[in-house]
């Protein structure tokens, strides 16, 4: 076999031709962001990356910090740790590290409480009293929700599950719909004088690996920066010499041009002159 033939064969080799055992050994060395990027390549990579994403959540102490609020007055943050993988659909399941009771109100003159923020918390970098100004920007950081998720607290002593969608960039789409599920329980106050008081106990949060894809705003920021960089470049001018001909300056001689400007015709007056007769 010649050298050129060997070269052409080796250039066509990709990760897709490797056995799954070798792919698992390769994926085991990647970090969280690399695994998320590889899971966006094909279904095979997504299934293998899902296994090592679960290990990365536990190994690197990666959790989700969920923020709750009601009318910008009551703010609570609950840290959710990785619990396991749902065997039916392959989704990631997160549960609170400690059982937390959140106090809200159920009133016709106030909005329902909402889950308004989810932060990817790596190795306890963010504390429960985190503020929005302290968030780091990036495709895999910052807020993972585009809009808040309203939580119903009308029915007391009940279990509720809220399903909502976010939009991501991945799987060949710039507007990929990715659902997530949040489960919580609602109990009323034990004091009779506070019938409108409700206590929420977060139970679990479930999502797929696509939930951690870059969101639309992050991808649009990257595209805008690329367009801005290209627009700042000055247009290049290329001079092509003309052989066998005179310069353009000698081809056209200056000539005197007489410009005749016609004055607009004067309007005849139709008024009768005093004392004149026709």
Supply the DSSP string of 63-101, one letter for each residue.
EEEEEEEETTTEEEEEEEEEEEE-TTT--EEEEESS---
Q: Does 190 have pLDDT greater than 50?
A: yes
Average pLDDT over residues 108-136: 73
Q: Does 278 have pLDDT greater than 50?
A: no
Q: For residue 205, which of 184, 221, 189 has the smallest C-alpha distance?
A: 184
Average pLDDT over residues 200-218: 86
Q: Which residue has the higher pLDDT, 41 or 227?
A: 41
Query: What pLDDT does 160 receive?
Result: 92
pTM value? 0.66
Q: How far, in Å, CA of 84 to CA of 57, rounded?
A: 10
Inside any domain, residue 171: yes
Inside any domain, residue 78: yes
Inside any domain, residue 10: no
Query: What pLDDT does 169 receive?
Result: 85
Q: Which residue has the higher pLDDT, 64 or 269?
A: 64
Percent of the chain with pLDDT over 70: 60
Q: Does 49 have pLDDT greater than 60?
A: yes
Count of Cβ atoms closer than 10 Å to residue 175 Cβ: 8
| Residue 254: pLDDT band with limits 50, 70, 90 | low
Q: How far, in Å, CA of 278 to CA of 276, rounded?
A: 7
| Residue 3: pLDDT band with limits 50, 70, 90 | very low
Inside any domain, residue 126: yes
Q: Does 11 have pLDDT greater than 60?
A: no
Q: Give me the residues paired with residue 188 across strands.
A: 198
Q: Does 9 have pLDDT greater than 90?
A: no
By the 8 A CB rule, do 82 and 54 touch?
yes
Q: How far, in Å, CA of 135 to CA of 141, rounded?
A: 8
Pick the most confident of 85-89, 126-130, 138-142, 220-224: 85-89
For residues 94, 96, 97, 103, the Cα torsion angle rounded to the nearest 10 degrees is: 170
Q: For residue 118, which of 54, 200, 182 has the smallest C-alpha distance?
A: 182
43 — alpha (psi -120 to 50), left (phi > 0) or beta? Answer: alpha
| Residue 46: pLDDT band with limits 50, 70, 90 | confident
Average pLDDT over residues 92-96: 95
Query: What pLDDT does 173 receive?
Result: 72
For residue 99, the enclosing domain spans: 61-223
Query: What pLDDT does 183 receive?
Result: 95
Q: Does 265 have pLDDT greater than 80?
A: no
> Hey, which bits of the chain come out as E strands?
62-70, 74-85, 92-96, 102-105, 114-122, 149-150, 158-170, 173-188, 197-207
| Residue 224: pLDDT band with limits 50, 70, 90 | low
Q: Give me the residues paired with residue 162 across strands.
A: 182
Angle at 165 between CA 204 and CA 167, to 5 degrees: 125
Inside any domain, residue 228: no
Q: How far, in Å, CA of 140 to CA of 146, rounded?
A: 14
Instruction: Enter the tokens of residue 272.
Output: 């009768």
* Secondary structure of residue 194 in the 3-state scheme: coil
Q: Which residue has the higher pLDDT, 108 or 144?
A: 144
Inside any domain, residue 252: no
Q: Which residue has the higher pLDDT, 236 or 47?
A: 47
Inside any domain, residue 264: no
When divided into structural domains, the chain yields a total of 1
For residues 239, 245, 249, 255, the Cα torsion angle rounded to the nearest 10 degrees is: -150
By the 8 A CB rule, do 203 and 185 touch?
yes
Inside any domain, residue 6: no
Q: Does 41 have pLDDT greater than 80?
A: no
């Amino acid at each position: 076999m010649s050298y050129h033939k060997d070269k052409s064969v080796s250039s066509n080799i990709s990760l897709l031709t490797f056995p799954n055992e070798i792919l698992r050994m390769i994926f085991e060395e990647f970090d969280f962001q690399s695994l998320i990027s590889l899971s966006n390549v094909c279904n095979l990579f997504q299934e293998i990356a899902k296994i090592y994403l679960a290990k990365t959540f536990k190994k690197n102490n990666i959790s989700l910090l969920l923020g709750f609020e009601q009318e910008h007055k009551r703010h609570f943050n609950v840290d959710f740790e990785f619990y396991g993988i749902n065997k039916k659909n392959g989704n990631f399941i997160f549960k609170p590290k400690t059982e937390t009771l959140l106090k809200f109100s159920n009133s016709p003159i106030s909005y329902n409480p909402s889950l308004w923020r989810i932060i990817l918390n790596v190795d306890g970098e963010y504390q429960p009293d985190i503020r929005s100004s302290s968030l780091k920007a990036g495709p895999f950081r910052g807020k993972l929700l585009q809009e808040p998720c309203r939580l119903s607290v009308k029915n007391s002593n009940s279990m509720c599950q809220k399903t909502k969608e976010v939009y991501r960039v991945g799987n060949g789409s710039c507007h990929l719909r990715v659902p997530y599920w949040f489960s919580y329980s609602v109990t009323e106050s034990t004091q009779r004088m506070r019938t409108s008081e409700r206590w929420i106990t977060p139970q679990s949060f479930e999502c797929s690996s696509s939930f951690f894809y870059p969101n639309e705003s992050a991808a649009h920021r990257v595209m805008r920066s690329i367009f801005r960089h290209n627009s700042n470049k000055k247009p290049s001018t290329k001079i092509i010499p003309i052989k066998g001909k005179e310069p353009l300056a000698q081809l056209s001689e200056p000539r005197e041009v007489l410009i005749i400007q016609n004055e607009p015709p004067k309007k005849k007056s139709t008024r009768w002159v005093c004392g004149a007769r026709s």
